[in-house]
Structure 1
Amino acid sequence: MMFGVVNSNCEAIIKVAVGRIGSPKIALDAVIDTGFTSFLSLPLSIITDLGLPWHYRDIGTLGDGSEVVFEIYKASVIWDGQEQIIDVAASDADPLVGMGLLYGFKLQIEAVEGGRVTIEAL
């Protein structure tokens, strides 16, 4: 089971440990975005600092319906105590956890500032 908190902007935040495959991980805060269908997005500066290898380009549709090209990198995350190899999309936004990483888990959010975020395997 994993836990997080709702911040003052009403965003559900969790810690994610991410790094290059076979290398030490760093823990960073990420916003849960249920409209994001991939696994994880990170700013390019973090991707560069971690030395994540480039994997491919993908076209994504944003919330306003516009399409953009995303650079996709490979990374390793610790998710529910287990290491997983995932795709990471480079983005200008804060780190986001998408539904790809949440798939197979139950997400509960107490939607008030300071509220608890709980993620548990189904």
Structure 2
Amino acid sequence: MHGFVNQRCEAILRIAVGHADAPKQIVEAVIDTGFTGFLSLPPSTITSLGLPWYFRDIGTLGDGSEVVFDMHKATVIWDGKPQIIDVAASEADPLIGMSLLYGFKLHVDVTTGGTVTIAAIN
């Protein structure tokens, strides 16, 4: 899987996400190694995709504060295969977390326009 580094020095990956067998939407998400979940999306995107609500979870932000997240189920295409994951509703930009990256290696050429490569660990 390949992405890019944007002008804000963020590693970006385009990911196809949707509900079960429904059509997928391509979302540009920031890779966040400090986020232990799978994926976060804005509530408006979750609504437009029709992602079902699953449960509420408490998360700790980078500043140490705790917040409650509504969690939803989604299907993403990851490494060419559909995978069912948890999605946290958040007003922030979409984020890819470490749970989605688990079992993969991440390489980032940290320069504007640099390449982001994610490959399975053999």
Per the normalisation by structure 2, the TM-score is: 0.98
5+ unaligned residues in a row in structure 2: which ranges?
A: none
Matches of 1:72 and 1:89, distance apart in 2: 5
Question: Match for residue 35 of structure 2?
Answer: 36
Deviations along 1:34-62, whole A, 9 cap, x unmatched?
00000000000000000000000000000
Question: Match for residue 115 of structure 2?
Answer: 116
Does residue 51 of structure 1 match 2:50? yes
Question: Match for residue 71 of structure 1?
Answer: 70
Deviations along 1:7-64, whole A, 9 cap, x unmatched?
0000000000000012110111000000000000000000000000000000000000
* 1:118 partner amino acid: T
**Percent identity over paired residues:** 68
Question: Match for residue 22 of structure 1?
Answer: 21
Q: Secondary structure at the match of 1:83?
A: strand
* RMSD, matched Cα: 0.4
Matches of 2:3 and 2:64, distance apart in 1: 30
5+ unaligned residues in a row in structure 1: which ranges?
A: none
Matches of 2:31 and 2:103, distance apart in 1: 15
Matches of 1:61 and 1:20, distance apart in 2: 27
Question: Match for residue 92 of structure 2?
Answer: 93
Per the normalisation by structure 1, the TM-score is: 0.98
* 2:16 partner amino acid: A
Q: Please identify runs of 4+ aligned residues in structure 1 that moved more than 6 A.
A: none
